[in-house]
């Protein structure tokens, strides 16, 4: 698709996606291919709400096949499901939460008979009425249009979403503040946003919060205690196939001076990464640091080239 076509689509319907979290998508796809549909559904859903169009499509396909959730019994696709009908009625009556769910679903399932313009109207209406998920959607979509419309950066919506408790928005704003050469005020605000995001139950958010609080090169951002607390929740979760999750847990142990556990977690991360044909060169460097009794500082979740 040409850039001009992309710009037109974003400007008219705001239904394009933000940049996908590539490693998380690969993990979700691995769960799906292994037949672990409930885990795959959970991960695709987290990514879909962050604007990943591939995950949104996969959720729609899984719903139609009954993978990771109930299958429609043949009464006209998703539009025939009782739960959807109920949500549609509530959305039409102005319920912000239902408007968000119906609007987001309509962006990936044409059988619902909801036009892209109506789906966007539902989502934006939910955002205006205070639904933090819809506000995050609006902010992330406007950010995606910045390539065509530089003034549409979505920051206002993201602020509203963060204030409303959206951990994804809190994480995104914190990451933005840490880019470049942040001032002392920006560092303090980023740290505050990360502390708020740390209470999230989202696997995606937890992993990134741990990575920043444990391994940020900026001293004022790191919080070893909170990083380890959140890392323990990650380690106790159902998702045990993501190499980066074990890296985050390992970094949290290292930040707290437990290099034996850090090395063990990093070794597990490398094994799982090798099974996915990832380039583990930088991961091995982190393992060497832990074995030498040193923490590692930097972008823990940056992926090197495949190979």
307 residues of the chain, pLDDT tens digit each: 333 333 333 333 333 333 335 567 778 888 888 888 888 887 887 777 666 666 766 776 676 566 776 554 444 455 556 667 788 889 989 999 989 988 988 887 777 888 989 999 999 999 999 999 999 989 988 887 766 655 666 889 999 999 999 999 999 999 999 999 999 999 999 999 999 999 999 899 999 999 999 999 999 999 999 999 999 999 998 888 899 999 999 999 999 999 999 999 999 999 999 998 889 999 999 999 999 999 999 999 987 665 5
Asked if residue 175 belongs to a domain, the reply is no
Are residues 153 and 203 both part of a single domain? Answer: no
Asked if residue 129 belongs to a domain, the reply is yes
Asked if residue 192 belongs to a domain, the reply is no
Asked if residue 305 belongs to a domain, the reply is no
Are residues 131 and 16 both part of a single domain? Answer: yes
Asked if residue 10 belongs to a domain, the reply is yes
Work out how many domains the chain is built from and give that number: 2
For residue 236, what pLDDT is reported?
A: 95
Question: What CATH number corresponds to the domain at position 258?
Answer: 1.25.40
216: left (phi over 0), alpha (psi -120 to 50) or beta: beta
For residue 16, what pLDDT is reported?
A: 34
Are residues 12 and 133 both part of a single domain? Answer: yes
Are residues 101 and 247 both part of a single domain? Answer: no
Which tokens hold the place of 192?
């505050």
Are residues 14 and 117 both part of a single domain? Answer: yes
Quickly list H helices, the chain.
3-13, 22-33, 37-49, 53-65, 82-92, 96-106, 116-128, 132-144, 155-163, 167-178, 184-197, 203-215, 224-235, 243-255, 259-275, 281-291
Are residues 241 and 99 both part of a single domain? Answer: no
Are residues 18 and 124 both part of a single domain? Answer: yes
For residue 30, what pLDDT is reported?
A: 80
The CA distances from residue 135 to 99, 116, 217, 276, in Å, are 12, 18, 31, 35
Buried b (16+ CB within 10 A) or exposed e, 123-162: bbbbbeeebbbbbbbbbbbbbbbeeeeeebebeebbebbb
Cβ atoms of 161 and 136 within 8 Å: the answer is: yes
For residue 284, what pLDDT is reported?
A: 97
CB atoms closer than 10 angstroms to residue 119: 23
For residue 147, what pLDDT is reported?
A: 61
Are residues 150 and 204 both part of a single domain? Answer: no
pTM: 0.75
Using alpha carbons only, give the angle 161, 167, 173 rounded to the nearest 5 degrees: 70
Are residues 281 and 213 both part of a single domain? Answer: yes
Three-class secondary structure assignment of 247-298: HHHHHHHHHCCCHHHHHHHHHHHHHHHHHCCCCCHHHHHHHHHHHCCCCCCC
Are residues 98 and 209 both part of a single domain? Answer: no
For residue 200, what pLDDT is reported?
A: 93
The domain in which residue 240 lies consists of: 198-291
CB atoms closer than 10 angstroms to residue 109: 22
Asked if residue 179 belongs to a domain, the reply is no
Cβ atoms of 27 and 272 within 8 Å: the answer is: no
Cβ atoms of 177 and 191 within 8 Å: the answer is: no
For residue 4, what pLDDT is reported?
A: 35
Asked if residue 296 belongs to a domain, the reply is no
CB atoms closer than 10 angstroms to residue 39: 22
For residue 3, what pLDDT is reported?
A: 35
Which tokens hold the place of 32?
């799906």
For residue 47, what pLDDT is reported?
A: 77
């Amino acid at each position: 698709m040409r850039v001009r076509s992309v710009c037109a689509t974003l400007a008219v319907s705001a239904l394009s996606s933000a940049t996908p979290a590539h490693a998380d998508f690969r993990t979700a796809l691995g769960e799906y291919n292994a037949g672990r549909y409930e885990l795959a559904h959970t991960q695709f859903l987290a990514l879909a709400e962050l604007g990943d169009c591939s995950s949104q499509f996969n959720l729609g396909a899984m719903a139609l096949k009954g993978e990771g959730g109930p299958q429609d019994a043949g009464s006209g696709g998703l539009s025939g499901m009782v739960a959807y009908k109920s949500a549609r009625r509530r959305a039409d009556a102005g319920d912000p939460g239902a408007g968000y769910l119906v609007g987001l679903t309509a962006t990936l399932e044409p059988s619902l008979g909801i036009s892209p313009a109506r789906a966007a109207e539902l989502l934006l209406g939910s955002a205006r009425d205070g639904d933090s998920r819809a506000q995050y959607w609006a902010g992330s979509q406007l950010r995606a249009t910045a390539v065509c419309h530089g003034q549409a950066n979505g920051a206002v919506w993201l602020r509203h979403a963060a204030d409303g408790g959206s951990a994804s928005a809190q994480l995104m704003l914190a990451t933005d503040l840490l880019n470049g050469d942040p001032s002392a005020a920006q560092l303090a605000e980023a740290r505050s946003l990360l502390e708020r995001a740390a209470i999230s139950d989202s696997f995606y958010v937890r992993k990134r919060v741990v990575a920043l609080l444990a391994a940020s090169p900026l001293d004022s951002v790191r919080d070893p205690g909170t990083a380890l607390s959140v890392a323990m929740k990650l380690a106790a979760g159902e998702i045990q196939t993501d190499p980066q999750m074990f890296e985050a847990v390992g970094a949290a142990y290292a930040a707290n001076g437990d290099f034996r556990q850090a090395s063990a977690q990093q070794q597990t991360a490398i094994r799982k990464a090798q099974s996915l044909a990832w380039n583990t060169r930088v991961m091995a460097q982190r393992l060497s640091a832990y074995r030498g009794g040193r923490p590692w500082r930097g972008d823990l979740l940056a992926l090197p080239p495949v190979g």
